[in-house]
Structure 1
């Protein structure tokens, strides 16, 4: 059984993703069962209540489970990203082109990150410019502030004509610090939102 691809490019891929199909399907089935439970409740309280609760579980649990898997996949990719960047910089320093560097990275096990490396490599071989490929990758990683920030720094250096190899090395070395800084920032934002919510209500 293949893994669900949580990180797709909606504007380039037709139809609904597997993730969306599972969520929408469970909501539809759960909704129908909940409505049936409400209707039957007048006849049988026990059966109606059981159907209603079953509908809620079917409607909510798949979404919660998929969210858990997606967050776990993101965390795994964030943890593997620094090692990938270090290897990418080493390949570049060895004289490889950016396409060759990504091709070499495909041979290393970076867990869930390998699927994204494959996408990047394929898009580069199709002739899509490096900045656009990385912007697509960043968009797929919209739920990871850490990876988005690292990619943003990389693109800024690339567009300004800086030493891309040194930039990649610097990003890899400082990625853990950046990860902690972004996580602390997000935690503070969530805390402020929670406080505002409490004050408002």
Structure 2
């Protein structure tokens, strides 16, 4: 929450600075270049923050299928899903590792498993991750063969990432 407020202050400050610089440049000094620079100053921090957020989401989506596969393997070894998450915190999943550690901490504090996963999905803000987490939460409540569901969710997530990368590379040819 604190990071989001910090980002908001940066965006608001840059917009205000850009507008002031643009107005001074255009109306007082009659320099259209300064007005354009003001617009760039107003927009650049927002774009940089959004690009960093998207890179973070992309890296988490890339590692998510491996995490699901590890959960399935731990389940096959007889662990519960909360135990599997605690065990997965020792593995390296890139930026996803930090989120796994947060989930493991919440589980050890007694936060319900479903709430921990839902909170993770809400933080990531990825449709693929949110859909997969919803499926896992439903399967966890319903019982049944969670191992099969986790394996199929991992494969589905892997395929979705592959399709997204393929689409991005094809669209990149036209730009």
TM-score (norm 1): 0.72
Q: When you count helix as a share of all residues, which structure comes out higher?
A: 2
Alpha-carbon contact 2:82-2:113 (below 8 Å) kept:
no
Partner of residue 100 from structure 2, selected from 105, 117, 135: 117
Counterparts of 1:167 and 1:111 in 2: how far apart (Å)?
Answer: 24
Alignment of 1:163-178 (within 5 A): 163-178=145-160
Residues 153-182 of structure 1 show CA distances to partners (whole Å, capped at 9, x for unaligned) of 11121122223233212211232334567x
Question: Does 1:140 find its partner at 2:115?
Answer: no
Q: Which sections of structure 1, spanning at least 5 residues, go unmatched?
A: 1-12, 188-201
- State the match for 1:33 in structure 2: 21
CA RMSD of aligned residues (A): 2.5
5+ residue gaps, structure 2, are: 169-175
Aligned length: 167
Q: Deviations over 1:91-130 (max 9, x none)?
A: 2222333333222212222111112112211221121111
Task: Spell out the pairing of 1:150-189 with structure 2 (5 A cutoff).
Answer: 150-179=132-161
Residue by residue over 1:68-111, the C-alpha shift from the partner in whole angstroms, topping out at 9 and shown as x without a partner, is 12111111111111011111221222233333322221222211
Pick aligned residue for 1:82 from 65, 78, 83: 65
CA distance in 2, matches of 1:37, 1:115: 45
Q: Is the 8 A contact 2:20 2:38 kept in 1?
A: yes
